[in-house]
Each structure stands twice: as C-alpha cells, then as structure tokens.
Amino acid sequence: MKLHITIILALCSFFVNAQSSEVKFGKVSMDEVRQKEHSLDKEADAAILFQKERLVYDYNPEKGFNYSRKVHYRIKIYKKSGLSWSTITVPLRNNGALKQKIYGVEGLTFNIQNNKIVKDKLKKDGVFTQNINKYEDKVSITLPNVKEGSIIDIEYEIASDFVGSIAPFVVQYGIPVNLVDIKVEIPEYFNYKKNTRGFYPVKIGEVTEKKKIDFQYREERDTKAFLGGGEQSQGIRRGNLEYFETDYSITANNIPAFKEEQYTDNIENYRSAIVFELESTKFPSEGYRMYSQTWGDVANVIYKYDDFGGELSKDKVFRKDIDILISKYTDKAEPAASIYNYVKEKIVWDGYYGFGCENGFEKTLEEQKGNVADINLMLTSMLRYAGFKANPVLVSTKKHGIPLFPTTNGFNYVIAAIENDGDYILLDATNNMLAVNELPNRAINWYGRLVREDGTSTSIDLSPKKISSKTIFMNVKLQEDGLVNGNMRTSLTDNLAYDYRDTNGSKSIEDIKEEKSELLTYTEILNLEVKNLNVPGLSMVETISFENENGLERIGEKIYVDPMLFLAIKENPFKMEKREYPIDFIFPRAEKINISLNIPEGYKVEYLPENLAIGLPEGKGIYNFTMKENGNNIQLVSSYEIKNAMFSPDYYTSIKEFYNQIVQKQTEKVVLTKI
C-alpha cells in the first residue's frame, strides 16, 4: 500500500497523564551494576530488573487507527550462562496489507570500570532484520560489550496496523522479573477482554479518560477521511478526534523464573501473562461490530463466517455421492458410520489447522485433501444432508492452549458431533485410523463449543469418558538353563488402540516386528500377528511369541525370576520432588496384565511377592497386584486404572508415590529352589 499523503505533524496527547516512572532509560545506579546475584533467586543467571510497556492507539486520516507499543527492558547479567539475554528478538507480523514496523531502537550497556559506570551505546550494526517468510520478519537486537555483571537497557517501539490484535504481555521468563509497569490505552472504538494467565499476582487498574487527537495532513489526491470533518486550506487539512479511552495499568513485582515440567498439556498455559482479546468494535462510520462476548457469541460469530457456516450449506457438491452411499441402508442410524468412513478414506488431511475452510468442499472433493475444517465441516454437512442432527464443535488444540476467554482466536480446530437424545457422538475424520467417538491427542483439550444453525451453542467436554484399556495375557515357560519362552496377546481399545494404529498403521508386519524387537534388548520376537490393525473402532489385538534370555538369574541353588519380564515398569516417570502444573494423562486408562509362569521341572516356589492394593485419593486411580501358586504354575495379575485424564498438581505427591510402589512391586523377584 503506497502512501499518497505525507504526514507533516501528528500531535497526540497520549503521554500527558502517564505517570513518570522512577526507572529511566539510560540511568542505572551503582548498586545495580555492582550486584553480584539476584536477591531472591541466587541461581538466576540473569534477571529482568524492569519491564515497561506502553501501548497507545494513534489515528491517521488515511489509514485509520494503528497502535504503537513501546517497550523498555532493563536486564542484569549475573553469569556467563546469562549472556544470551544480551540479544533480544522481536517478531514482526506482516500479511501484505497490514504490517508491523520497528523503530526507535535504542540500547545501552553499563559496566563498571575504575569504580565508574561506563556506557556503551548500541549502534546500527547491532540490529539485524531477517525476513523469515512472507508473514514474518525477525529483528534481533544485540548489545555491545556485555559481560558478567553488565546491565543493559533496551528500548524499541513497534507500530502495528493489526489494530484488533494485541500480542500477550508476557511477564514471566526463564529468569526472574523484578518489576513490571505496563500501560495500555484503548480508545472506546475497541472493546477488549483481558485476562491473566499463570499463578503469580498481577495488578490491573482501569480508568476511563477523555482523549483528543489533533492531526494535519497534506492532501495529494482526493481521500475519503475515515472519521470527522476538517477545514480545507491550500491542500493542508486539519482535523481532530475526540473520544473516551480506557487506560489499563498493569503492575507486578518479583515474578520468579518460569520452570518447565514434563507431562503437562501445554506448558505455555501456565506462563504468567496478561492477554487482551478483541471483543467488539464500534466505529461511528461502521456501527457496532461484535467479535465475541460469551462463548455463545463467539460460536455465533464464527458460524456467520463464509468459510464456516457459509460452506456448511454447500451440500450440492456431494449430494449425488451421499445419495448413493445411504440408499443401501434401511436403518436410519447406520449411514452415519458409512459417511464418516467415506470422508476418512476419500480425503487426506494436509496438516493445516483452522476452523475455517481453506479449499472449500468442492475443491476438497476434487483434490481429495483439505485442512481440518474442509474435512470435518464437510463431514458435518454430509451428515446433515443424510438427516442427522449434526453440528460442528469448535476446539482449541493442546498446542494452541486452553481457550482463556471467548474470542475467535480461542479456537483453531473443528470436529463434528451428532446429537442423539442429549448425548453427543464426536467425529474427527482427519486421520484414517480414528473411529467414531475417538479424538486424536491434539484435540483432547478441555472443552469444545458445539454450534447449531439457530445460533445456540453448548459446551462439550472433550476428554474421553470411556476408559481406554489394555489387556494382556501372557504364558511363559521358564527353563532351568535361563531361557524363557512365551507368548503374549495384547488387546487395546479406544485411544490406546488409536495410538497403536497411528504409529504402526502404515507399516508392514515385518517392520512392526523389527521395531518392537529392537526396543527389547534381551527378548527376541519370533512371530508377530496383528488383528484389526487397520479397522478403527474394533479392539486391536497383537499376538507375539518370544524368547527371552534375561528373565531369570541363577544364584547358587536358586533361581530368581522377574515375573513380569519386559512388561515391568522399571522407572518412575515422575522424578521431580514437587510440581506446579497439572499432570496430563491425555485420556483415562486401564491396564490389566495376566501372566502364567510355568516353572522348571525339579523346582519349587520358595518365595512369591506379596499382594498389593493401593489407590489414589478419592478413588481416582487404583493398582492391584496378586500372585498365587497353582501346582507348576504361578498366576500373576497386575491391574491399574487412572480414571481421570488430568490431575491438579495437588495430586503430584500421591501420583509419584503411587508409581513408586508400582515400580517397586513390579521389579520384585520370585525365588525358586531345587526340590
């Protein structure tokens, strides 16, 4: 977009009431530079002493509103490992029409030399702009002369045309943050919802003020001003704009370093930040435009998008095919599965997300591929055409995080649902190996929003209610010489079956056998068969026969046996002493292992591990272990169940101990002696 107007002057009154802060760019105290370690976190390799951000909207008669976000970081480097904090990278968005630009980049490094503070200034050669792709540039700012003990001040301003989108104000990093001072001034034309993420207290103040912007511009061609009038004087126009604005002031102190932990759904859900999401706009020229308010509103807004609700009605393109498909059924319920299979088999997911169609139904059918919405909205539409009460369900994937508040940005995925007497059947046709009511792990994230044609919507729990189960029967023959022969039959249902299919579905039996064999150091798989590998929905059965050379150890006259062989959980997955974030098991699960051990001729059982029955609080998990002797045979049953998909961190200690006992029990030995 080329500018035909040169702005001569833009007088704004934005900073008039801004509180003058005590921290000023370029002025640091001797104490700060001398500081050797962080007062609260002695291990911190660097710290953000101060983070200041000012976001203000500006008005330009040609382009309308834009905003500027001015950022000042003061960073202290304590250790050499913290030197990477002397480079700051700033991503800039760009979609062709709208852009973000950086300007006013300033940087100073402070060091102590001969008891004096010495400054080094950032020069142009320390600022690098790299074009990443057509949507993004990356600006890296790296400061000179930074070493252990240095303090750096970095300041820059981003001018953004993306008026309806404000990147989150992140206030928690891998290093501690001492003081945060953020001000955001939003004109009345924009209505944002705001929310805080994370666990640390952040104060948000809010006042409404009256604002006025004066502007002048030279006109080089006829332009239609967006707002207000103005008087003509020799090609120079003068205008002003008066409005109310809401000023938010966000402050926080002493936010500790952000620690990453394993087994979380998405770690970014727990990083402290303040998030702004556009709810509505109200311009004098356009009137009120709602983006979102409640989840219901969001659903309604999305439904009206052409690539969503609009596409849903385009059933012309597939009518003929579906007519043929359903003509052979007399029972009205049956065709649902066959339509679902039809879409799964015919259309391949191209790997792209989104709740809006990228290709549209027609192109999707023609090319036989599409994004998530192309596939699942078309599925919804086909089901509707066949007479089912089918509706789309908006979803936020695990990677996309928990949708904090009702905005269109909260979602990035869509699945289909059939309503049936107050119950819902969920369908996702993006993967050939999925079955009715099975969702891939990426889509099992909190709640989705079901949207109906009439604009009503309902919240849908995406966690599978059905427990995925694994049932194993294993027969083992122990031989005196140490060799162990056995066979094992494993059946998997629901998401456990899907995981297996997703990993192995496209492989040959030989490859599955090979890969499984390689994982087991001391066990060689002699034969492997899989039933229902490519038949989603049915329970999947794997049968192997094997030879193991490490299941028993002869010490003196006795034989010590690992009764669970390679099935024992040998390591507790939960190792850290404490935990701050929820624990994600993705879906509830149950495992039952039945083992029959045939002991060698001439030996008798001297010792069997004792039975064990333990549980998690409130019966949310149980583990049972029993062993009994039966002539030449030993029967072992080990079963556990985790009834919830997600646990709050309060359960961490119990879960860790639960697994400790399981590991302990499963690695206990059976002792055999010669008769």
Least distance from another protein to the Cβ atom of residue 664, Å: 5
In whole angstroms, give the CA distance from residue 596 to residue 632. Answer: 10
Q: Which 3 state secondary structure label does DSSP give 31? A: helix
Least distance from another protein to the Cβ atom of residue 114, Å: 13
In whole angstroms, give the CA distance from residue 342 to residue 652. Answer: 44
Q: Please, which residue, 21 or 131, has the CB nearer to another protein? A: 131
**Under the rule (CB under 8 A), what is the footprint of another protein?**
43, 45, 79-81, 83, 86-87, 125-126, 128-134, 140, 142, 144-148, 259, 347-351, 367-369, 506, 508, 517-518, 521-522, 524, 550, 553, 555-556, 558, 560, 570-572, 575-577, 606-607, 609, 660, 663-664, 667-671
Q: Please, which residue, 97 or 555, has the CB nearer to another protein? A: 555
Q: Please name which of 188, 193, 227 lies closest in space to residue 211, comparing C-alpha atoms.
A: 188
Q: Please, which residue, 102 or 348, has the CB nearer to another protein? A: 348
Least distance from another protein to the Cβ atom of residue 171, Å: 21
Report the 10 Å Cβ neighbour count for 524. Answer: 12
Tokens describing residue 422: 């107050």
Least distance from another protein to the Cβ atom of residue 142, Å: 6
Least distance from another protein to the Cβ atom of residue 576, Å: 7
Q: Please, which residue, 84 or 635, has the CB nearer to another protein? A: 84
Residue found by looking up tokens 């269109």 in the block: 408
Tell me how many degrees the CA angle 601-605-610 measures, rounded to the nearest 5: 150
Q: Alpha-carbon Rg of the chain, whole angstroms?
A: 32
Residue 543's Cα: distance from chain center in Å? 36
Report the 10 Å Cβ neighbour count for 97. Answer: 7
Q: Please name which of 672, 668, 620 lies closest in space to residue 641, comparing C-alpha atoms.
A: 620
Residue 547's Cα: distance from chain center in Å? 42
Least distance from another protein to the Cβ atom of residue 102, Å: 14
Q: Please, which residue, 209 or 606, has the CB nearer to another protein? A: 606
Least distance from another protein to the Cβ atom of residue 606, Å: 7
Least distance from another protein to the Cβ atom of residue 556, Å: 4
Q: Please, which residue, 120 or 419, has the CB nearer to another protein? A: 120
Tokens describing residue 544: 């192997």
Cα 138 to Cα 104, 168, 418, distances in angstroms: 16, 17, 44
Q: Please, which residue, 356 or 609, has the CB nearer to another protein? A: 609
Q: 350 with 371: CB under 8 angstroms?
A: yes
Q: Please, which residue, 517 or 639, has the CB nearer to another protein? A: 517
**Which residues 6+ apart lie within 8 Å of 105 measured at CB?**
122, 127, 139, 141, 154, 155, 156
